[in-house]
Structure 1
């Protein structure tokens, strides 16, 4: 099964300093049927105004993955660590109990556009507090994984996250590790085909798709495409 979750169906916020689209329940947006998907708790697409910031806050035990699409951001924590990432990079924060984290658009003239994912973290595993990676322009690469294989970011959960960057007409085939996955179009239109010829959807910019009980997946770009495939066995 492949079921589309369109950008128009997502929760939305416009606070002036922040514009956001929420795939799952978050903040003021609440849908009891959309509290996450397997270990994927949050998938937000957000724009912070120049100079805007999220004030310090604590997190549940999650890994927070941020992909910067435009601008530059600085993350700070209450124990004195800080890191900056810019467009074309991603950072993974292994959040800790009793540590607060803030986020700052360090430009006073340009907005910050980014995607943020929260993934449940195994309580017994400890990873580096901050990991960074360049997204690059590869057609496909493994962005994050449980073991940090292929120089990917290391998660505290059995999840594999693939970054996809295709030109029109190009396609990529994937084997899915478990019963569930989620595909998110960041930019561009894409055809998604499961192993069953009837399991097919077309997504446009900002759309996502719940993938269930599909062992293989074919992603074909209709327009220039940037996307994430989140493989969620747990």
Structure 2
């Protein structure tokens, strides 16, 4: 029997720091909800908007896989392992914090905000050498189909992390349908709607809604309007 959990967009935690507007699907910083600590190995799903010229100062991480998906604008990344790069819409960034890394993320544009998703996945290996990667995705590869953007395999499509997790993006026209088949039977799938309206296994979802499902082999997805969404398959036990 499948298990499900629904997180409507307006039930998320919210922090407004002036320069940063952040919506938290799971407990984070000053937002604590014991019912929303994680979805399996998916620990953090933050929907962030950073004001022009502002950003996150240098801060440390350890033993966490940190994924950033820019939705709008440019974000400058610097870290303690020698990287200084810019990520923008169409890119995906991953950082394995491992034994420890410090990084900063800034919106260098003085006249436009940056929107991005910050996602943390609990790794299956601790104490690894810190690692950074970013790639530019071909956005046509998600038009009316699922585009793999992350996996456990360095040689597979997208970036890779230290966990048996697979992420896909879809950008569907109205009435397009597809099935998603789980890569591992024991995993769960968390669906996050970026834009538009979709139905997943009979559950209607709207912009910024989240929906988790597990103990099932596949899910059916239908676009009820033009829609863009992120699928995150992660271990439920870790």
Q: Normalising by the residue count of structure 1, what TM-score does the alignment of the two structures yield? A: 0.92
Q: What is the deviation of 1:163?
A: 1.1
2:213 is matched with 211
Evaluate the alpha carbon distance shift between residue 124 and residue 27 of structure 1 in structure 2; reply closer, same or farther with a 3 A threshold: closer
The structural deviation recorded for 1:36 is 1.0
Alpha carbons of structure 1 residues 218 and 21: separation in structure 2 relative to 1, 3 Å: same
Q: 2:225 is matched with which residue?
A: 223
- 8 Å Cα contact 1:44/1:117 also seen in 2: yes
The 5-angstrom pairing of residues 48-67 of structure 1 reads 48-67=50-69
- 1:184-205 Cα shifts (integer Å, max 9, x gaps): 1111110001xxxxxx210000
Among residues 152, 164, 174, which one is paired with 1:146 in the alignment? 152
- Runs of 5+ unmatched residues, structure 2: none
CA distance in 1: counterparts of 2:213 and 2:135, whole angstroms: 28
- When the two chains are superposed, the root-mean-square deviation of aligned CA atoms in Å is 1.6
Question: Does 2:28 correspond to 1:26?
Answer: yes
**How far does residue 164 in structure 1 lie from its aligned partner after superposition?**
1.3
More displaced 10-residue stretch of structure 1: 103-112 or 146-155: 146-155
Give the paired residue count: 228
1:80 Cα offset (Å): 3.0
Measure how far apart 1:135 and its partner are.
Answer: 5.1
CA distance in 2, matches of 1:149, 1:142: 12
Worse-superposed segment, 200-209 or 121-130: 121-130
Cα drift, residue 60 of structure 1: 2.9
Aligned to 2:99: 97
Q: Tell me, in whole angstroms, the C-alpha distance in 1 between the residues paired with 2:221 and 2:72.
A: 25
Within the alignment, does 1:130 sit opposite 2:133 as a pair? Answer: yes
State which of 190, 194, 199 in structure 2 corresponds to 1:186. 194
Task: Provide TM-score, normalisation by structure 2.
Answer: 0.90
> Any stretches of 5+ residues in structure 1 without a counterpart?
194-199
User: Hey, what does 1:164 align to over in structure 2?
Assistant: 170
- Is the Cα–Cα contact under 8 Å of residues 55 and 106 in structure 2 kept in the other structure? yes
